[in-house]
Amino acid sequence: MKPQSRAALLFLAPGMALITLFFILPVIAGFFLSLTDFDLYSIGDVRNTRVVGAKNYASLLDNPLFWRALTNTLYFSFVGGPLTIAVALAAALLLNAKLARFKALFRTIYFAPVVTTIVGVAIVWKYVYHPRVGLLNRMLDAIGIQGPDWLGDPQWAMPALILLAVWRGFGYATVIFLAGLQNVPEELYEAARIDGAGGWKQFWHVTVPQLGPTFVFVGIITAIGFLQVFAEPYVMTPDGGPLNSTLTIVMLMYREGFRWWNMGYAAAVAFILFAMVLLATLANTLIRRRRA
Amino acid sequence: MLLSFLSFLLPLSSFLSTSCARPQQSTTIEFWGLGREGEVVAELIPEFTKQTGIKVDVQQIPWTAAHEKILTAHVGGSLPDALQVGNSWMSELVTIDAIVPLEETLVDKSDYFAGIWDTNVIGGTLYGIPWYVDTRLLFYRTDLIPTPPRTWSEWNAVMAKLRRENPSRDFYPIVMPTNEWPQPVIFALQRGAVLVDESARARFDEPRFLEGFNFYVDMFRRGYAPAVSNTQVANIYQQFGEGQFAMWITGPWDVGNLRLRLSKEQQELWSTAPLPAPDGTPYPGVSLAGGSSLVVSKRSSKQAAAKQFIAFLSRPEIQSRFYEMTGDLPARKSAWRVLEGDRELAAFGRQLDRTVALPRLPEAENIVNAVAEHGQLTVRGQFTPQQAAQALDRKIDAMLEKRRWVLRKFIPRVDAGSLGAPAVQEADASRVHPRSRVYARDKLNEAAEAHR
């Protein structure tokens, strides 16, 4: 081994050791756990554990609640994810506009929900969504629309959570987009203007391609965040909401793991989620490579 | 390999937690109280410390997170010396070997409601002392229902009459939120349903269960009850106060809520009564044995002090004071003297003499939730009651597969019929894990009961 690589290895060792101990090993242990029926009886006596192979996965695919949770999660992700990106991009464009004033102030305002604790946010939003005295329904009342019971109605509970998640999450993406926008060379816009491109064409043919890598990064981060949604439904609609309409994959995992203590089963849920996140990430990168 | 890895983890966690416990000068025990009780119990502690010299460090755990927190704390080896638990968790805590048996001499057993006491007895051994009790019964509007029904047929007649007199959809004779499990479960228990039998087999597709389940579903079919979940009922107290429904099945906590929220005139218009019984069975009909119990954790090194504390909290005069502080119904009958003259709560006293426990299995909560879920699907017309019962049988049987395996694994001898040989059982038991002895005893008792 060359001295340099030995030195590199030495410097990497502490980090590698930590990652192995606290990340890779638990993941492997979690995978093995998902092949067992580790549950309450196993906590009493470990010998009450059987290796059941893929049975957890099979019964999971057979469980209507799992499909419900999967549908809810995908609904949440496919509506909430793109919406977050769109709102974030719009906010970033506004902040980056030459006419904009008080940029730092607005940047802080947009970013504030990201760093606010979800429990505090949940209390405020529960008031906002209150069917009779809530801000939202009062506003709808004023224009003559009778608002639904946002969190109590199976149809509206998920949209209400999506709105909350978008509001809470777009600030983070905004900051990243803003950084991306500031890296777009001004000459490109100048050249485009000379070629006669209007505002929309400049955006579509200059800004968007230049933001490519930013889109991939934001896309992956948002997808992962949305697929792993837990805090919002957990605090706003505990127990999965009306008719399980806000039960997500992670909620199901939590319910199975910590409420019923079916750890093996919950680990299987975790691995399916892992596969989904992996797929989303791969898809994102592939799309990016194709374009490049 | 996996098993040895897991078995390595568990002792490690308990090792870590015990190794940092330091010896202390004066004894201090840790106590976990849940919700409001955890807040209030602190006021009783100075007296206990004065009498015994034992200090108590109280931690308050919110009810919504309590169950998860206790299980996690057990695995992490950080349970306190004594704690309050919902009495329906008892079997779970025994299964995971988190709590220790208690001596029956700790308190005067005859002073407790029998049905409630039983929820603390798992496999013939006492594991908890009831702290406060609750059960569910009928809340009704006295202006709409002059005398509360005593039988199911009287009940149906009352609801039919109310429906006839007021066909409007703004009014319902009764409200039973479809996502609450107690109502369908109570009706089934009233018909003698066991839900799960001694050999951990589901027992739903049979008349005992179906009669109760049908009674429940019919209330919706006949339009006596609206098919709504409790999140869809905006303000149940206000609606009850305004007479938008005439009956409601709930627990003692709502006595306090109604007294707090209804106007003075409305206070005259409601009362409580024990549950009606199925025709031909004694009144009142049975209800659920609910409430909280006090237990001592296995890992505690101060179990004697913890038991002293439990005995203190169980004294009749302390129980009376606790009632005055919280409004929680005392577990001891002698402490009920403070409730004399309370018309609404007196009905609970009668109901508490007629309660039954849910199946004492760690899976019980999961099972009753499944009943509510299938009740909801039946009410919405996706299942016939029979189909729901069959689906429940399949689901619960699959859920209990593990328990049957554990039962079979540790007690092949009992199955072979060697019931009358406890000495052999004990000798045998010394070779296996202590937990399996409980299963064996559990099974033995059940078998002995079946024998009688």
The residue of chain A with its CA nearest to that of B177 is: A242
pLDDT at B18 over 90: no
C-beta atoms of B436 and A59 within 8 A: no
3-class DSSP state of A246:
coil
The Cα of A222 is separated from the nearest Cα of chain B by a number of Å equal to: 29
Q: In the predicted model, what is the mean pLDDT of chain A?
A: 89
Mutate to test the interface with B, among A36, A48, A234 (most CBs of B within 10 A): A48
SS3 A20: helix
pLDDT of residue A291: 67
Chain A positions with Cβ closer than 8 Å to B: 29, 32-33, 35-51, 59, 131-132, 149, 151-153, 238, 241-243, 258-261
Range scoring the smallest mean pLDDT among A191-205, B92-106, B241-255, B431-445: B431-445
Strands B55-61 and B28-34: parallel
- Cis, peptide link before residue A233, omega less than 30° from 0: no
pLDDT band at B415 (very low <50, low <70, confident <90, very high): very low
Mean pLDDT over residues B356-381, rounded? 91
Cross-chain Cβ contact A153/B232 below 8 Å? yes
**pLDDT digit string, tens, across residues B145-165:** 999 999 999 999 999 999 999
Nearest-angstrom CA–CA distance, B312 and B331? 13
Would you say B295 and B93 are in contact if contact means Cβ atoms under 8 Å apart?
Answer: yes
Rounded mean pLDDT, B406-434: 46
pLDDT at A163 over 90: yes
Closest-CA residue in chain A for B65?
A259
B445's tokens: 């008792």
Residue B89 C-alpha, separation from nearest chain A C-alpha, in angstroms: 11
Query: How far does the CA of residue B297 sit from the closest CA of chain A (Å)?
Result: 14
Question: Is the model's pLDDT at B19 over the cut of 90?
Answer: no
Residue A150 is predicted with a pLDDT of 86
The alpha-carbon gap from B132 to the nearest alpha carbon of chain A, in Å, equals: 24
Is residue A112 predicted with pLDDT exceeding 80? yes
| Inter-residue contact B350 to B356 (CB < 8 Å) | no
pLDDT band at B437 (very low <50, low <70, confident <90, very high): very low
Sorted by sequence, the CB contacts under 8 Å of residue B262 that are 6+ apart come out as B237, B240, B241, B270
Task: Check CB contact under 8 Å for B433 and A243.
Answer: no
Which chain B residues are Cβ-neighbours of A68 within 8 angstroms? Answer: none
What's the pLDDT at B444?
45
Whole-angstrom distance, CA of residue A251 vs CA of residue B167 = 41
Q: Cα-flanking dihedrals φ and ψ of residue B72, to 5°?
A: -65, -40
pLDDT at residue B418 is higher than 70: no
B6, B95, B376 ranked by CB distance to A40: nearest: B95
Work out the average pLDDT over B433-443. 44
Q: Could you tell me the pLDDT band of residue A3, with boundaries at 50, 70 and 90?
A: confident
CA distance A161 to A232: 7
| Averaged pLDDT score across all residues of chain B | 85
pTM across the whole model: 0.77
Q: Which of B6, B234, B362 sits opposite A132 (nearest CB)?
A: B234
**ipTM field:** 0.71
Q: Is the pLDDT of residue B53 over 90?
A: yes
Predicted pLDDT of residue B208 = 94
Q: Could you read off the pLDDT of B230-240 as tens digits, one per residue?
A: 766 667 888 89
Q: What pLDDT does B10 receive?
A: 46
Tens of pLDDT along A24-53? 999 999 999 999 999 888 888 888 889 998
* Each residue's pLDDT tens digit, B312-344: 999 999 999 999 888 889 999 999 888 888 888
Q: Evaluate if residue A104 carries a pLDDT over 50.
A: yes
Residues contacting A86, CB < 8 A, separation 6+ = none
* Helices then strands, each counted (H, E), chain B: 21, 16
pLDDT in tens, A72-94: 999 999 999 999 999 999 999 99
Structure confidence at residue B411 as a pLDDT band (50, 70, 90): low
Which of left, alpha, beta for B285 (phi over 0: left; psi -120 to 50: alpha)? beta
Token couple for B452 = 């009688």
- Quick one: pLDDT at residue B25? 55
B156 against A2, higher pLDDT: B156
**pLDDT score of B392:** 96
Query: Which region among A149-153, A182-186, B212-216 has the lowest average model confidence (pLDDT)?
Result: A149-153
